[in-house]
Structure 1
Amino acid sequence: MAGFVFRENRVPHYQRMFQKHDGNRVFMKAPRSKLILYPYFFLMAGTLTSSMYMMGRLVLLNSRIMDFIQNILGGKPSPSPSPVPAGDDAGFADFAGIPDPSPAIASPSPITPIASIPAQTSLPALPYTKWYRVWERTTPADFKAEAMILPFLIAIILVHLWGTKTNKRKAKTWIAAHAPILEQEYATVGFGGRKAPSLDSVKGEGSVPEELMKENAPNEFVTYASGRQNVAFLDMKLSLIKRYNPLVVLGEYIVGFLFESSPAPEERIDYTAYTFDGREGLIVPGKKGEERKSTHNSAYDGFVWAVVNKDNMRRLRDDRYDVSLTTTKDHPKLPAWATVMSEANEITETLLTPDLIQAVHDAGDDAFEALIITDQPVDRPNKIDETIPKKRITLALRIPSDYTKILPIFQSYLRVPDVLVSHGRFRPEVMRKVRATRDEEIRKLKKVDEDEKAEERKLAQDKKKREDREAMLKSLSAIEQKKYLDKERDKEQKRQQKRRTMRA
C-alpha cells in the first residue's frame, strides 16, 4: 500500500497498542522478549488494576487512530499532546517522557507516491517500564477486599462440605440398619432392581449405596421396596437437618420458637406402605399368554386407626383430615406418653397386639411419633372423587442415636398388613358407624356441589334474562324504550316499599 512502511514480521494484536504514528507513517516497536511478554499478559488480564490500564490504553489508541485517519484525508493535525497526560490518560504518566517521532509534512496530493517517502532506517526505542512488570506496580495492599472476602468463602465451602458429608454418613447408617430386615421381608429393595444386600455388603467397600437409596436433596434421602405379599410397595424417606446451611437452620429454629404453626426442624423417618386390598390382578402385570394363578383375598375393611405420641396428637388432628375423623382414648397397656385414635373400640382391641405394644415401649418417647392405618386422604377433600378410599399404612419416627431402639417397631410395622388381611374384617355394626362418618362427609360435599351448580344455573338464567332484555330494548323505539324503563323503575320502587313495610 502506498504511504506505509511496515516491518516484515506481523505484530500481535496486544503489541499494536505500543504503535507510534507520524503523519501517514506507522512505526512499531516490539518488546524485547516475546517469551517474557506472554506470561505477563495472562497475569495482567487476571487483575482488576491491569484491566483499568488496558481500558485507558485503548482510549488513547482510539484517539491516535482518529488523528491518523484525519491526516490521510488531509484534515488538520491534532495538537501535540502535553508531556504529562491529563484526564482519562493521567494513569499513563510513566510514558510521558517517551519522545514522539517528528511528524512528516503531509503531501498536498491525496495519494503520495512511494518514491517520495524516504525509507525508515531506524525505529525509536521504547523504554521497558514497570508497566510490563506487574510485581513492581502491585502490592499486597491492593488486595485488601479480596483478603477480607476469601476467609468467608473458605468457611462457607468447608461448612457445606462438612454438612453434606455428615448427612450422607447418617443416610448410609440408616440404610445399613434397615437393609437386613428389608432383605427378609421384600424381594427387591432400592432402585437397582436386585435383591437387597446384607448388612455386611452395605458396610463393605464394594457396596454401591446409590442402588439402595437416592438423594433428592442434601438433606433428603429416599428408598423403595417391593415384592411382598399383601403390600404393593413401600416408600421410605429420611429427612435430615440442613447442616450445610447453618443460617437457614437457625432461621427455622427461630420461626419454630415464635410460631406454633411452624414446628422446629427435626430429623425424622417416614415409612408409607401401600396395600393391595384385593387388587393384585390390576396392579401386578402378568406374563403374556400365561394364566394368572389364584391368590388369597387380601382385602380388608376401610377405617382410620392410629397410635400416636401425645406431643404430636394436636398437630396431627389439625394437619391431617383422616386423623380428624377419629376419637382419642387412652389405653392401659400403652405407655403414658402414647394414646390411641380410633373410629371404634373393637378396631383397637383387634390391632393393638402384644408385639406392637412392646415395640412402642421399646421405641420410647423420644423416637416414636405415630403409626397410622388409614383409607382417607390426608387433605380435606373438596370433591366427591377425592373421597375414594386409598388404603395405606404410615409410620413416623424421629432419628434416634441408636437404631436398635426403633428396629422392633419397624419390624412390627412391616407385619401390620398381614394382621389387617387376617383380622381386618369387623362386625357390620362396627363398620356401620365407620361408614356413617364418611357418608356425612360425602353429604356435605354433595350439598356444596349442588349449591355451586344452583349458583351457576342462577347466573346463567340472569345472563339470559339480560340478553333478552337488551335484545327487546334494541327492537323498540326511543319513546317505547322510555316507557318500558319507567315501568321497570315503578315496579322496583313498589318492591322496595313493600320490603320496608314488611320489616317495620
Structure 2
Amino acid sequence: MAALNIAKFLTPQMPVVTPDYDGLEYKWKFLTFRPAYFKNELYFLGAFLFYLLFYYVGKTANKGRANKWFETHLPLYKTQFSRPANAEGLVADGNSDFFAFSTGRRALTSLHTTFTLRPRHDLLQIIYQFGRGIVELDYNVYDKVELEFTFREPVGKEGAVPEAVWAIVAKDEMKQLRNDRWDLTFTKTTEHSALPPSLVVMSEFADITTNLLKPYGQFQLAQVLSNPATLPYFRSLSLTDQPRARPPVPLDPSERSKRLILSLAVPPNADAAATLPLVTAAFQLVDIIAGEGKLPGVRGGLNAALRPETRTKLRKAREEVEKEIRDEAQREKKEEAEEEKAAARKRARDERVSKLSAAEQQKVLDREKKRLLRKSQGKLKAR
C-alpha cells in the first residue's frame, strides 16, 4: 500500500488535453504529440544539445591543437632520438592533457613532452577561468607544452652536468612559477643585458649564467630568446637537480635527476612552427651542458666550465638544505611522539577517573580546575 502511495506521488500529472486543440499535432497509431504542451522541455533540450556540441567542438579543438604542434616538431625529434615517440603518437589523458615519450639519445635518458591545454570541452571551467581572469589581473591561463629533458648522468655523481638550479623566465610567469616550483627558491632573480626586458634570470650564482649565455660557435641562447617571432611563446627554461615540490625528508640521490625543462605557450595551428627555434636551441643547450655534440667550447660540460669555488658553494648549499629538511623532519617526528604520549596519558587518566565514584570524580575535576587556574595566573604574572 505504501509503495502505491509513493508511486502515485512520483507520477507526474497528466497534461490537460482539451478537445478543441487546433495547434500543430503529430499522430502515429494510438500516439499523439502536441508540441504546444512542451514549451519548457524545448529549452532544456536546446541547452543539453548546446552543451554536447560545446563538448565535442572543444575536445576536437584540443586534440587538433596538440597534434598539429607535435606533428610540426616530430621531424626534429626524429633527428635527435632513435625512438622519437610512442607508436600511437600522442597519448591522451582526458580531453586537455596529452603527452609523448622520447628516448634514445646521447646524454639523455628521456624527453617527456606534456601538453596542458585549456579545458575547451568543459563549459563550466571555461566560464570559471573567464570570471577569474576578470577578478585577478595576474591570472594567466594559456595552452602550455612542457619539454622535460632528463640527463643520463645521475645526481650524486660529479660529472659534466652540475648539481645546480638556473632558469630564464618570462616576468609575467615568475610569480606562478615560484609558487609551483620549490627548486627555484634556491635562486636569486636578476635582469641580464643580453636578454629582452620581458625576461629575467633566476640563478644560484652568476658564474652559471655567464657560461650558459656566452656564445658557442654560431649558437647564442640569448639571441634565440630575443627573436621577436618566438618570444611571445617562451615561458621558461630551467636547469635543475632538485624536485619541484619540497620533500618532507632528504631524498636519496637515486630518487632525483638532473633535468632541463622548457615551457612554451602553444602557438596557433597556423603558426605551429614558431617554436621550432626554441626547441632546437634546447637540444643544443643539452649538448652544451652535458659536453656532447660538435659545438666548440663544450668539452667537459658545464660543470667543468664553472669555477672551483662555484662548485664548492653549490655543494655546500645542498648540504645545508638537506640538513634543514632533516632537522625539520626530526622535529616533526619528535612533536608527533610527544603528542602521542600526551594522548596516551590522557586516555589512562580518563580511564582511571571513570572507575571512581561520582564524589571522587568531582574532587578530581575540582583539583584540575584549581591547577589550571594557578597555571594561568602564573602566566599573567610572568607577563
Partner of residue 30 from structure 2, selected from 134, 137, 155? 134
Question: Which residue pairs with 2:127 in the alignment?
Answer: 250
One-letter code aligned to 1:307? I
For the 8 Å contact 1:188–1:226, the answer to whether it is kept is: yes
Deviation of residue 463 (structure 1)? 6.9
Give the 3 Å change call, closer, same or farther, for CA 229–498 of structure 1 in structure 2: same
One-letter code aligned to 1:328? T
CA displacement 1:440-476 (0-9 Å, x = unmatched)? 32232233233234334545665787799999999xx
Q: What 5-or-longer segments of structure 2 have no aligned partner? A: 1-6, 9-13, 20-26, 292-300, 355-359
Partner of residue 350 from structure 1, selected from 200, 203, 211? 211
One-letter code aligned to 2:84? V
Deviation of residue 301 (structure 1)? 1.7
Structure 1 residue 372 corresponds to structure 2 residue 233: no
Deviation of residue 180 (structure 1)? 0.7
For the 8 Å contact 1:220–1:239, the answer to whether it is kept is: yes
Question: Which residue pairs with 2:69 in the alignment?
Answer: 174
Question: Which residue pairs with 2:11 in the alignment?
Answer: none
Question: Which residue pairs with 2:382 in the alignment?
Answer: 503
Partner of residue 437 from structure 1, selected from 283, 306, 317? 317
Deviation of residue 501 (structure 1)? 11
| Identity percentage of aligned residues | 25
CA displacement 1:193-229 (0-9 Å, x = unmatched)? xxxxxxxxxxxxxxxxxx1111212222211111111
Question: Which residue pairs with 1:415 in the alignment?
Answer: 284
1:367 and 1:179 map into 2 onto residues whose CA distance is 18
Partner of residue 260 from structure 2, selected from 390, 393, 404? 393
For the 8 Å contact 1:189–1:212, the answer to whether it is kept is: no
- 2:49 match: secondary structure: helix
Question: Which residue pairs with 1:232 in the alignment?
Answer: 109
Q: Which moved more, 1:160-169 or 1:458-467?
A: 458-467
For the 8 Å contact 1:219–1:241, the answer to whether it is kept is: yes
1:317 and 1:448 map into 2 onto residues whose CA distance is 22
Point out which structure has higher relative CO (alpha carbons under 8 A, 6+ apart). 2
Give the 3 Å change call, closer, same or farther, for CA 158–437 of structure 1 in structure 2: same
One-letter code aligned to 2:168? V
Task: Give the TM-score of the pair, scaled to structure 2.
Answer: 0.73
Deviation of residue 314 (structure 1)? 2.3
1:498 and 1:157 map into 2 onto residues whose CA distance is 68
For the 8 Å contact 2:101–2:110, the answer to whether it is kept is: yes
Counterparts of 1:36-435 in structure 2 under 5 Å?
Answer: 133-134=29-30, 137-192=32-87, 211-259=88-136, 263-278=139-154, 299-354=160-215, 355-362=220-227, 364-385=230-251, 389-401=256-268, 402-422=271-291, 423-425=301-303, 426-435=306-315
- 1:217 match: secondary structure: coil
For the 8 Å contact 1:252–1:264, the answer to whether it is kept is: no
Deviation of residue 318 (structure 1)? 2.8
Give the 3 Å change call, closer, same or farther, for CA 325–257 of structure 1 in structure 2: farther
Deviation of residue 186 (structure 1)? 0.4
Q: Which has the larger radius of gyration?
A: 1
For the 8 Å contact 1:269–1:398, the answer to whether it is kept is: yes
One-letter code aligned to 2:260? I
CA displacement 1:34-59 (0-9 Å, x = unmatched)? xxxxxxxxxxxxxxxxxxxxx99xxx
One-letter code aligned to 2:245? D
- 2:238 match: secondary structure: strand
CA displacement 1:298-332 (0-9 Å, x = unmatched)? 65220000011111122222331111210112111
2:118 and 2:342 map into 1 onto residues whose CA distance is 57
Give the 3 Å change call, closer, same or farther, for CA 449–163 of structure 1 in structure 2: closer
Give the 3 Å change call, closer, same or farther, for CA 235–496 of structure 1 in structure 2: closer
Deviation of residue 437 (structure 1)? 2.9
For the 8 Å contact 1:222–1:236, the answer to whether it is kept is: yes
Give the 3 Å change call, closer, same or farther, for CA 232–139 of structure 1 in structure 2: same
1:175 and 1:339 map into 2 onto residues whose CA distance is 28
Give the 3 Å change call, closer, same or farther, for CA 275–503 of structure 1 in structure 2: same
